Structure 1
């Protein structure tokens, strides 16, 4: 089986290409610039809006795994919804159309659990949960899902569609808020989170790449949407304790009222960050286990410990 991975130079893309290659699949990696180190799979440098490049990239490909997208924008581009839509929705649809023309058999679209919102209450999110995209990034992913589904989910054409919505993905080289936690733990700074009693679903990079491989190859994955996680949820103190263990440091957590922290965060314009750290977000990924018979191959707590141990 021949697989094209878009956005292959990113955090998830690099690990995914290595995992697919080691699993015996032929991997062609689309990148926008030359990789820093040599890879043991085929690398093509080019833009996804270049039809001539796409013709070369898609030649002989059985499965496209689409990771490329516009995310984590800051400054003046942080709320540029049009730019998000142009890349995450419109470019995705053009890529899928070209893939179909080139007789690709399956299109795996890696979306975001943000399609379902930013916080849960007592009821975990699953594939039947109503969409609730809050951020521009999630909205652009959701609109791409709608358009792709209208064309491919219920069609009996030559190319089927798989949609994957991962939550926070963690590893030693993870970006975003997880990297901020790793930095705080690495410095040994006392943290005021011992009183946080939330629950969060996440997925390790190793578990996610394995799940995406299954979505690319399993005959029953076509036409399905999957929310996926490690299958074990942690509170913020439990996450931090595992990270401190990975750094061979005693946990440095102390109590401070969550309500006061939340109020202060909102006043400082950091309410969203506080929700991500201290709010609950729980996923029920039972469908991945029942439909695909997928069990996360890596222990989530071990993966958290390893993330801190390997962090530099």
Structure 2
């Protein structure tokens, strides 16, 4: 089986590539610039609706599309939407159309839970078939890509599989999750010990990669949308406590009421901060479990420990 991967140099793509190499040898990666360490690659410098992917998609059976313009905060919304659409929407649909013309059998798209929305009511998790049109530029660009992919599938018969992960973590994770690990490891008191009543779904990169590999040839994955998580939702306080345990450092969380975060975030004009800390975002993966006979092979405790160990190893290497 010939498999093409986009985004192979990213956090998810690197893990996916390392796992596929144990099972498959005929892997091709799409790169935006030439790079050492990739034996079989095709260079496509710009990802947009006009990009030529023909050299990349020829003779491929499966495409796993991980490449994306990632979500960032505090940017100009109008310009942001244009930039997100160029990469996440137009380039994705363009790639899919050229893939279908080349005879690719299945196109696996790594979307985002932001297609479902930003938050859930406690105990009312997102489901894959919820109908919602996001207003967030990143989420909207992913939503429009999904719509375009389904249209390509209807017209050409190429199978499409859509996976919407929530926050992905694991060894080498960046952004906010990495910042959280750093603060906890310093052993400084954090005013987040009172956020005990929310629930958030996360997925380790190992569990996400395992699902992607399952979807490569599972017959029941064809033309389906799946949500994914570790299947162990946690509150913000519990998440921080679990990471402190994984790092083997004292849990120094100060129990400040969540209401104070709401007030403070409103005063500084950034209510999204409070929502991310105090709100819930849960996903229902029952469809994924039922249709694919799949369950997360790694527990959240195992994944947290693996993430923490990698963080400590990296610190030691810098000394």
Distance 2:251 2:60 in 1: 48
Structure 1 residue 273: Cα displacement: 2.4
Q: CA RMSD in A?
A: 2.0
| Stretch of structure 1 that moved more, 222-231 or 69-78 | 69-78
Structure 1 residue 237: Cα displacement: 1.5
Residue 5 of structure 1 aligns with which residue? 5
Residue 170 of structure 1 aligns with which residue? 169
Distance 2:31 2:70 in 1: 16
CA offsets, 1:2-30, max 9 Å, x none? 11111111111111111111123521111
Find 1:43's aligned residue among 36, 41, 44.
41
Contact 1:114 1:134 in 2 (8 A): no
TM-score, normalization: structure 1? 0.92
Distance 1:170 1:96 in 2: 28
Structure 1 residue 292: Cα displacement: 0.7
| Stretch of structure 1 that moved more, 245-254 or 127-136 | 127-136
Q: Structure 2: any 5+ residue segments left out of the alignment?
A: 315-319
Distance 1:151 1:30 in 2: 21
Pairs within 5 Å for 1:239-258: 239-258=239-258
Residues 286 and 134 of structure 1: CA distance in aligned 2, closer, same or farther (over 3 Å): same
Residue 63 of structure 1 aligns with which residue? 62
Distance 1:242 1:74 in 2: 26
Q: Structure 1: any 5+ residue segments left out of the alignment?
A: none
Pairs within 5 Å for 1:147-186: 147-152=148-153, 154=154, 157-186=156-185
Q: How many residues align?
A: 308
Distance 1:161 1:92 in 2: 12
- SS of equivalent to 1:4: strand
Residues 265 and 43 of structure 1: CA distance in aligned 2, closer, same or farther (over 3 Å): same
Distance 2:14 2:34 in 1: 13
Consecutive aligned runs of 4 or more in structure 1 exceeding 3 Å deviation: 48-53, 72-79
Residues 230 and 16 of structure 1: CA distance in aligned 2, closer, same or farther (over 3 Å): same
Residue 140 of structure 1 aligns with which residue? 141
TM-score, normalization: structure 2? 0.90
Structure 1 residue 158: Cα displacement: 4.1
Residue 125 of structure 2 aligns with which residue? 124
Distance 1:254 1:309 in 2: 25
Pairs within 5 Å for 1:245-284: 245-284=245-284
- SS of equivalent to 1:296: coil
| Stretch of structure 1 that moved more, 271-280 or 201-210 | 271-280
Residues 259 and 76 of structure 1: CA distance in aligned 2, closer, same or farther (over 3 Å): closer
